[in-house]
A and B are shown apart, each in its own frame.
Chain A
Amino acid sequence: MKILVCVKRVLDPQVKARVKADGSGVDLANAKMTMNPFDENALEEALRLREAGSADELIVVSVGGGKTEETLRHGLAMGADRAIYVMTDEVLEPLAIAKVLKSIVDSEAPGLVLAGKQAIDDDSNQTAQMLAALLGWSQSTFISDFKLDGDSATTIREVDAGLETITVKMPAVISVDLRLNEPRYVKLPDVMKAKRKPMDKIELDSLGLDTAQRLTILEVVEPEARAAGVIVNSVAELVDKLRNEAKVIK
Chain B
Amino acid sequence: MSNLVIVEHDNNEVAAATLHTITAAQQIGGDIDLLVAGQDCQAVAESAAQIVGVATVKVADHAMFAHQLAENLATLIVECAKDYSHVLVAATTFGKNVMPRASALLDMAQISEIVEIKSPDTFVRPIYAGNALATVQSADAIKMITVRIISFDAAAASGGSAAIEAISGGTDTGLSSWVSQAVSSDDRVDLTSAKIVVSGGRGMQNGENFSMLQAVADKLGAAVGASRAAVDSGFVPNEYQVGQTGKVIAPDLYIAVGISGAIQHLAGMKESKVIVAINNDSEAPIFQVADYGLVADLFEAIPELEAAL
Contact = CB atoms under 8 A, between A and B. Distances in A.
A177 B131 contact: no
Contacts of A144: 238
Interface in B105-134: 105, 107-113, 122, 126-134
Given A232-B293, A249-B253, A139 B176 contact: yes
Interface stretch (B28-36, B57-65, B271-279): B271-279
A87 interface: no
Given A129-B104, A160-B192, A216 B139 contact: yes
B295 A231 contact: yes
B192 to A, nearest CB: 7
A166 B70 CA distance: 11
Contacts of B232: 178-179
Contact of A130 (B103, B134, B140, B270): B103
Contacts of B127: 17, 26, 121-123, 220
A193 interface: no
A222 interface: yes
B104 to A, nearest CB: 4
Contact of B294 (A127, A166, A231): A231
Interface residues on A, range: 35 or more
Highest count of chain B CB atoms <10 Å: which of A123, A138, A166:
A123
Contacts of A52: none
Interface string A167-189: 11100100001110000000000
Nearest to A248: B253
A140 B290 CA distance: 37
A238 interface: yes
Given A132-B70, A133-B102, 18 more contacts: A16-B263, A17-B127, A17-B132, A26-B132, A122-B128, A123-B112, A123-B244, A129-B101, A129-B104, A139-B176, A159-B93, A159-B239, A160-B92, A161-B239, A166-B69, A166-B179, A238-B292, A246-B292
